[in-house]
Amino acid sequence: MNTQAAIIPRQLHVGLIGAGIGRSLTPALHMREGEHCGLSYRYDLIDLDVRGLSVSALPDLVNEAQAQGFAGLNITHPCKQSAVALMDELSADAQTLRSINTVVFQRGRRIGHNTDWWGFAESFRRGLAGVSLDHVVQLGAGGAGVAVAHALAEMGARSIEIFDLDPLRSKALVDQLQPAHGACTFSVGRDLATALDAADGLVHATPTGMAAHPGLPLNAQLLSDRLWVAEIVYFPIETELVTLAKKKGCRVLDGGGMAVFQAVKAFELFTGIRPTAERMMHHFDSLRSMI
């Protein structure tokens, strides 16, 4: 009697370290795509808040994951900068950004990557194709802001004016990224109204608009229909800024694409398999509709 041996799927174990990550859609995105790719894909949430831990526990958590045979880890707030010192090697982009969101365990070594910038860039290319990047105004100079500004420069932005509630943080971003991008001029913003009058588009990279931080990040009167607007917040997907920009007639990019495409690149780094981005985007949309 002929029998055919059962095909045992390749097993993969990864996780996400961060604080307050219970509602993250990343595990579901990875595991569903893993299933489509014939993998037995386990994705754990390692929530500092749930465990009663602080960032100081990060070295132990990374050690534990590596010892347990994880293929890698995603890293999110508030651990992205602290994780850099725990790596054996950094990708070129991670070196520039001094922040990582993906760790690959490979032959006993830890390799740190940043897929946030690529996720924003890929979403932007698809959602705002053809817009001018001559002069961009960006709100926010935190970790996400650095990744987004790097992405804009990589896409060919000629001038990026950075605004933050803390001008010193804006200056730190400029000082960090300017040496890596000779073709783009970074500057600390002084007057938002004047900057937007001369701008082609606006990028928002602060927590304002999230469920826990509702509101608009700027005076509504400053938006006009000649500006494109890119948002990185995706909880909710329709932030007050996105709603306002649509009403004004702006071309608008919501934060969902960045969330999906950073996961697309992380999946590829973990597995060595290029996932189907459109399938992951469709799954993301279905998950959002249930929240």
Mind telling me the catalytic residues? 80
| Beta-carbon contacts of residue 149 (< 8 Å; ≥ 6 apart) | 138, 141, 160, 162, 173, 177, 186, 205
Q: How many residues does the chain have?
A: 291
Beta-ladder partners of 159: 135, 185
CB atoms within 10 A of CB 153: 26
Residue whose token pair is 């860039």: 121
| CA distances to 104, 225, 259, 274 from 264, in Å | 14, 32, 9, 8
Within its chain, how far is the Cα of 225 from the centroid? 27
Measured CA to CA, the distance from residue 76 to residue 115 in angstroms comes to: 11
CB of 199 closer than 8 Å to CB of 227: yes
Preceding omega of 236 cis (within 30 degrees of 0): yes
Asked if residue 104 lies in contact with residue 44, where contact means CB atoms within 8 angstroms, the answer is no
Residue 17: its H or E element: strand 10-18
